[in-house]
């Protein structure tokens, strides 16, 4: 099939830039390329001036969310639990207002795949909590996932 491209370049384009353009076109499989430099012909099919960028002052830029770090000395809730054949510990660090700011779960020996995956998940959830993701979002997204070990814990407060 025929693949051809037309490339319009500024008058200041260098020989090296044109050489690179030809090489890139060849690598992309372009069969024919027409190169035009500004002012290379008496009349140009298209010419115009670039419009200046107009910024609407009525729309302020959206600030980036800032991380809300937990204090060094914080309240934590820690519990021991069992799910299936796995026994573990959960620790939740709380802000002064009682909302959770980080979560850590120890469920297996260090170095095991499940320990690594659980640590990674806890880091991701903790970072999200510190950047303002509501805990309910995690609950709604992670509820009803099924994999072993699964089931209720032996702790009435942690189901």
Residue 103 is predicted with a pLDDT of: 96
Residue 80 is predicted with a pLDDT of: 93
Residue 52 is predicted with a pLDDT of: 62
CA gap 159, 135 in Å, rounded: 15
Residue 61 is predicted with a pLDDT of: 58
pTM of the prediction?
0.54
Q: Do the strands 86-94 and 32-37 form a parallel or antiparallel pair, or are they unpaired?
A: unpaired
What is the strand order of the sheet 75-83 is part of? 75-83, 86-94, 100-106
Question: For residue range 33-62, what is the model confidence (pLDDT) as tens digits?
Answer: 888 888 777 666 555 566 565 555 565 555
Q: Do the strands 75-83 and 32-37 form a parallel or antiparallel pair, or are they unpaired?
A: unpaired
pLDDT tens series, the chain, 159 aa? 567 788 888 889 888 988 888 888 888 888 888 888 887 776 665 555 665 655 555 655 555 578 999 999 999 999 999 888 888 999 999 999 999 999 999 987 778 888 899 999 999 999 999 998 999 999 999 888 887 777 778 888 876
Q: Give the mean pLDDT of the chain.
A: 83
Q: Do the strands 4-9 and 75-83 form a parallel or antiparallel pair, or are they unpaired?
A: unpaired
Sequence spans of domains, the chain: 4-37, 75-142
Ranges assigned E (strand) in 20-149: 32-37, 75-83, 86-94, 100-106
């Amino acid at each position: 099939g025929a693949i051809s491209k037309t490339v319009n370049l500024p008058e200041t384009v260098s020989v090296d830039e044109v050489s690179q353009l030809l090489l890139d076109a060849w690598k992309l499989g372009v069969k024919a390329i027409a190169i035009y430099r500004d002012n290379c012909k008496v009349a140009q099919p298209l010419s115009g001036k670039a419009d200046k960028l107009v910024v609407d002052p009525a729309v302020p830029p959206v600030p980036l969310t800032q991380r809300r770090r937990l204090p060094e000395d914080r309240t934590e809730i820690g519990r021991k639990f069992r799910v299936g054949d796995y026994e573990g510990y959960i620790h939740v660090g709380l802000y002064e207002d009682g909302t959770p700011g980080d979560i850590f779960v120890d469920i297996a020996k260090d170095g095991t795949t499940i320990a690594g995956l659980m640590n990674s998940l806890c880091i991701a959830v903790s970072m999200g909590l510190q950047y303002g993701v509501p805990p309910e979002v995690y609950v709604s997204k992670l509820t009803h996932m099924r994999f072993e070990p699964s089931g209720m814990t032996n702790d009435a407060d942690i189901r």
